[in-house]
Chains A and B, each alone.
Chain A
Amino acid sequence: MSHPTPDVYEQGKGMDAHNQVMREIRSRKEASYDPHEPTRVWLDEDNTPDGVKRSLTIILNTGGCRWARAGGCTMCGYVAESVDGGSVSHEALMDQIDVCLAHEAENGDEPADLIKIYTSGSFLDEREVGAESRKAIADTFADRERMVVESLPDFVDREKIADFIRHGVDTDVAIGLETATDRVRHDCVNKYFDFADFEDACAEAAAADAEAGGDADAGIKAYLLMKPPFLTESEAVADMIASVERCAGVEGCHTVSMNPCNVQRYTMVDDLYFEDGYRPPWLWSVAHVLRETVDVDAIVVSDPVGHGSDRGPHNCGECDDLVQKAIKDFDLRQDPSVFEQVSCECERTWEVVMERERSFNQPLTH
């Protein structure tokens, strides 16, 4: 197990440089956040090991990511630095949950089966969400079928998972692994844990699952990032295919969510994009990876954010909506034939980019 504090993460020249630059970039942002409001909340549908479920997704404001305060990931713009002291009280967190329940009641016909809680940090890090809050939130959603909570692998242990499992709620921990390749995770994403830590977290989830017997399931949902900065289109695709395969091969990891990078404000990716040094991945690349990994032993989904825009994953502008629709369709049905329904002349351009883009001529297209 590696080191859970940002201070200890500060190792190595490349990371120092990334952090120094990211701190400067983030310092340009001036925004403030109300600790009694969640960052975001919405209703959707999701594919789970038990089929497609209605879902309530909550982005909890927990004072923001500790790693981001040191500098943080090169593509991530979800940073709330305005909460004084960097922590949010138990009462404020519960206020946020109330806001989410009200949103659900107002916009949904009935309570969602699936609750997903993200924090832009680690829900299982007790400096972000104390044990008292965690247990109270577990109690709040005790009547649901399944929960997903986000965490760095370091904070995943079977006791914390048990807080949810003991209510009979299937529980997944979502881990922003980004890539199975340590080199890319370190140098391109600037995220400092290793694939081995992810494997350890999966083992903890598997242990929690075993301890729960048949009452409830516990598992890991891996989040991957397609095309961090500095990789070419073909390198990004190869990295994703390898990562999906490696994740699916780890016991305890039953779902892989492979998401194309989008250009968020106040990030290193945004600085590159502004200077014509970065292009988000093609949607053809997303489709290609999904097709290539269809035989792995895991659910593989992708949720391209901002598709069709310059700052999001996109093709030529003509076919973006169609390909996005095919990807969403694939997410729910896991059937690669959905991609046979879409074609466009720009697929040939994408092939040329795959073949010819190099780290000394990228990006080849807009």
Chain B
Amino acid sequence: MTDYFEVHARDGAARVGELRLEEPRSTPALVDDVLEDAGSLWSADRAMPEGDDSRLTVLPHRGFPGGTAEEVRESFAVSYPDVDYPSVAVISSEGAADEGTDAYAVSDVQSITGHGAALVEAIVNVREAVPADTAVYFSGVATPRNVAVLAYAGVDLFDETAAVVKGTQGRYLTTDDAYFLEDLEELPCACPACRKPREEFTREDCVEHNRNALAAELGIVRRRIRDGRLRDYVEGQARQDQWLTAAMRELDSQWGYLEERTPVLRDAQIDAATGDTIRRVEIQRYADRVTTRYRNRFSNPLVLVPCSAAKPYSESQSHRQFHDAIQWRAHLVSMTSPIGVVPQELETTYPAQHYDTVVTGRWSEDEKRFVSTVLRRYLERNAYPEIIAHVPDEGYRDIVERVEAELDLGVTYTVEDHPTDTESLANLQRALSGELKYSKREREHNTVRAIADYLLGDGAGDDLFEDIQTTSRYPKIQVRDSEDTQLATMVPQYGTLSFTLEGAKRWVDGEAPTKRVEIDGFVPHGSVLAPGIVDADEEIRVGDEVVVEGPKAFGVGRAEMFGREMAESTRGVACEIRHVEEK
């Protein structure tokens, strides 16, 4: 239960929140100046502090540093009283529990920073134990170099302590290192503290610089979270220290933790610039859904083509040329690193048109392995009368040949030199001679069905949209039933569907699992706030289409929180209602 912390924006496990003090503060943030410590019960009995809305009060506590045995933690555990001011409980990452406070300070923080696996184990333990709309506080560890990764892992509150301590030790902190001040011939910074001659720059100035550098980095972190681009930043920033890279990678292995917190769509682009991009939730989720939920409904041959830099692919020069050769006579699937394979129906679906990769023509073994695994799983699930690979040599052909051998397929290769040269295009055209075109109707029906599969689950497309008609132009396809009642609209920016009330009712009545938000007896308009929510499906992710239902209302909208967060939170917007009717 929190009154004084609210999450406003989410980017994976990272959040921009608001510490709702007399003077509100955006998090991730430093809290030195608003923190009041009522003291440790190890050294003395403590009076319950007065507390007020101007500061965050750490309730009387016993901190258990790293290495404290479980028996000791249990028998010396403190129970925290309910207070009506902003409060912090001190918990060990090994015995974290919901204490009813607004924030949680992690007592074994010195033992878990500096070790990737330990940090991830700790933050996952803590986050899974405390309510989603409470802040996690790491005291005494934040530096300009590590704070982005700490925030990325899910830490909200920090302090200047480590930066100050290191400054007094003559360590000049930057986002890339902790330099020995005495080794610096010049100061690699232009903050106010550094605007003085090198020879006049003291350790006290170094303390000031460290503070400035930490505050500046936190500003970038907040910006990045709001933009949905923290991961792209962290893939670079984590390289500045081995343990930070380890932490990022360990976190990628915590699929349950990270997937639950990662939105299903974003405005932001994904920069595919490092080998770690392949392990992003967004990438893995797309590959997983395409190979377990999506199903090809065309009976035409398959043409595999390389991806293009322009998105969606169909609008690129190269794909227009492929299309001219194919003429709707084949099912088009693009191969790409790092997404894997993109069937033509899902070319607008996040993140298929939201990534930008570094193109050099050199494929790493990791990329090849990933794309070939996805292609193999795709072809195991989807049978074609014929497979044509219209792909160039570098990487692509390698991958197709691997899968061809693994699955014992016969693949026709049509590229001589380059996929868009005349000879290759002629080969492609020839390979499809005699094939029949599929209709616009078939194409559009299969597109919305494919998106329904992707969003709602295997078979959802057929279940929901068996008997439909489509109107309006691709990619803004409208889905209607046989009586012309609109059920859904395709959202071109994210390649998703937004349902009408009729569509939502069909979803509820159908076989596909419904993402349902149960609300109290009121009729929501605009936003549904967390306190109004009785329960929410655990499968709900930020950006998901959800059915909102209560004793008085039935509606449909888009999730702004993940399911468990909706159920646990006491503050914040849980979902945005698009359509609602009174019962």
A51 to chain B, nearest CB (A): 36
Q: Quick check: A356 and B165 within 8 Å, CB to CB?
A: yes
The answer to whether A231 and B169 touch (CB under 8 A), given A17-B74, A20-B71, A276-B110, is: no
Q: Quick check: A364 and B71 within 8 Å, CB to CB?
A: no
The digit string for B24-39, where 1 denotes a CB below 8 A from any CB of A, is: 0000000000000100
Q: Quick check: B69 and A362 within 8 Å, CB to CB?
A: no
Interface residues on A, range: 35 or more
The answer to whether A362 and B65 touch (CB under 8 A), given A187-B76, A349-B165, A352-B165, is: yes
Candidates A272, A345, A357; contact of B68 at CB < 8 Å = A272
B87 at interface by CB-CB < 8 Å: no
The answer to whether A356 and B74 touch (CB under 8 A), given A21-B69, A277-B110, is: no
Q: Quick check: A16 and B75 within 8 Å, CB to CB?
A: yes
B40 at interface by CB-CB < 8 Å: yes
Bound-complex Cα distance A277 to B108 (A): 7
The answer to whether A364 and B42 touch (CB under 8 A), given A16-B75, A272-B66, is: no
The answer to whether A352 and B164 touch (CB under 8 A), given A277-B65, A360-B58, is: yes
A103 at interface by CB-CB < 8 Å: no
The answer to whether A277 and B203 touch (CB under 8 A), given A359-B107, A361-B140, A364-B162, is: no
Q: Quick check: A361 and B67 within 8 Å, CB to CB?
A: no
Q: Quick check: B75 and A17 within 8 Å, CB to CB?
A: yes
Q: Quick check: A272 and B67 within 8 Å, CB to CB?
A: yes
A353 at interface by CB-CB < 8 Å: yes
The answer to whether A356 and B164 touch (CB under 8 A), given A277-B111, A346-B169, is: yes
The answer to whether A230 and B42 touch (CB under 8 A), given A276-B110, A278-B65, A363-B65, is: yes
The answer to whether A356 and B140 touch (CB under 8 A), given A275-B111, A277-B67, is: yes
Using a CB-CB cutoff of 8 Å, which residues 318-349 of chain A contact chain B? 345-346, 348-349
With a cutoff of 8 Å between Cβ atoms, the chain B residues found around residue A229 in the complex are 65
Bound-complex Cα distance A358 to B88 (A): 13
Bound-complex Cα distance A352 to B168 (A): 8
- Among A188, A271, A345, A352, the one with the most B-chain Cβ atoms within 10 Å of its Cβ is A352
Candidates B63, B75, B105, B168; contact of A348 at CB < 8 Å = B168
A28 at interface by CB-CB < 8 Å: no
A147 at interface by CB-CB < 8 Å: no
A129 at interface by CB-CB < 8 Å: no
Q: Quick check: A17 and B72 within 8 Å, CB to CB?
A: yes
Q: Quick check: B111 and A361 within 8 Å, CB to CB?
A: no
Q: Quick check: B111 and A276 within 8 Å, CB to CB?
A: yes
With a cutoff of 8 Å between Cβ atoms, the chain A residues found around residue B161 in the complex are 352, 356, 361, 364
The digit string for A263-282, where 1 denotes a CB below 8 A from any CB of B, is: 00000100111111110000
The answer to whether A361 and B110 touch (CB under 8 A), given A348-B168, A356-B161, is: yes
The chain A residue sitting closest to B43, CB to CB, is A235
With a cutoff of 8 Å between Cβ atoms, the chain A residues found around residue B64 in the complex are 230
Using a CB-CB cutoff of 8 Å, which residues 46-102 of chain B contact chain A? 58, 61-69, 71-72, 74-76, 90
Candidates B67, B75, B162; contact of A274 at CB < 8 Å = B67
The digit string for A132-171, where 1 denotes a CB below 8 A from any CB of B, is: 0000000000000000000000000000000000000000
- Among B43, B45, B69, the one with the most A-chain Cβ atoms within 10 Å of its Cβ is B43
Q: Quick check: B168 and A349 within 8 Å, CB to CB?
A: yes
Candidates A18, A239, A274, A316; contact of B72 at CB < 8 Å = A18
With a cutoff of 8 Å between Cβ atoms, the chain A residues found around residue B154 in the complex are none
With a cutoff of 8 Å between Cβ atoms, the chain B residues found around residue A17 in the complex are 69, 71-72, 74-76
The chain A residue sitting closest to B42, CB to CB, is A230
Q: Quick check: A360 and B139 within 8 Å, CB to CB?
A: yes
B448 at interface by CB-CB < 8 Å: no
Q: Quick check: A360 and B43 within 8 Å, CB to CB?
A: no
Candidates A187, A316, A356, A357; contact of B42 at CB < 8 Å = A187
B526 to chain A, nearest CB (A): 40
B170 at interface by CB-CB < 8 Å: yes
Q: Quick check: A271 and B67 within 8 Å, CB to CB?
A: yes
B205 to chain A, nearest CB (A): 13
Using a CB-CB cutoff of 8 Å, which residues 219-266 of chain A contact chain B? 229-232, 235, 238-239
With a cutoff of 8 Å between Cβ atoms, the chain B residues found around residue A360 in the complex are 58, 61, 63, 90, 105-107, 109, 137, 139
Bound-complex Cα distance A80 to B74 (A): 29
B492 to chain A, nearest CB (A): 49
With a cutoff of 8 Å between Cβ atoms, the chain A residues found around residue B42 in the complex are 184, 187-188, 230-231, 235, 359
B446 to chain A, nearest CB (A): 57
Q: Quick check: B67 and A345 within 8 Å, CB to CB?
A: no
The digit string for B119-150, where 1 denotes a CB below 8 A from any CB of A, is: 00000000000000000010111000000000
Bound-complex Cα distance A269 to B395 (A): 56
B88 to chain A, nearest CB (A): 9
The chain B residue sitting closest to A272, CB to CB, is B67
Bound-complex Cα distance A105 to B402 (A): 85
With a cutoff of 8 Å between Cβ atoms, the chain A residues found around residue B139 in the complex are 358, 360-361
Bound-complex Cα distance A353 to B110 (A): 14
B405 at interface by CB-CB < 8 Å: no
Using a CB-CB cutoff of 8 Å, which residues 153-204 of chain A contact chain B? 181, 183-184, 187-188
What are 19 A-B pairs at a CB distance below 8 A?
Answer: A21-B71, A230-B42, A231-B43, A235-B40, A235-B43, A275-B66, A275-B108, A276-B111, A276-B114, A277-B110, A277-B111, A345-B168, A346-B168, A352-B168, A357-B140, A359-B63, A361-B159, A364-B110, A364-B140
**Other 15 A-B pairs with CB < 8 A, given A21-B71, A232-B40, A358-B40:** A14-B72, A17-B75, A181-B44, A188-B42, A230-B40, A230-B62, A275-B108, A275-B111, A277-B65, A278-B67, A358-B63, A359-B42, A360-B61, A360-B109, A364-B165
Closest 3 CB pairs of A and B: A361-B140, A359-B63, A275-B67
Residues in chain A within 8 A of chain B (CB atoms): 13-14, 16-18, 20-21, 181, 183-184, 187-188, 229-232, 235, 238-239, 268, 271-278, 316, 345-346, 348-349, 351-353, 356-365
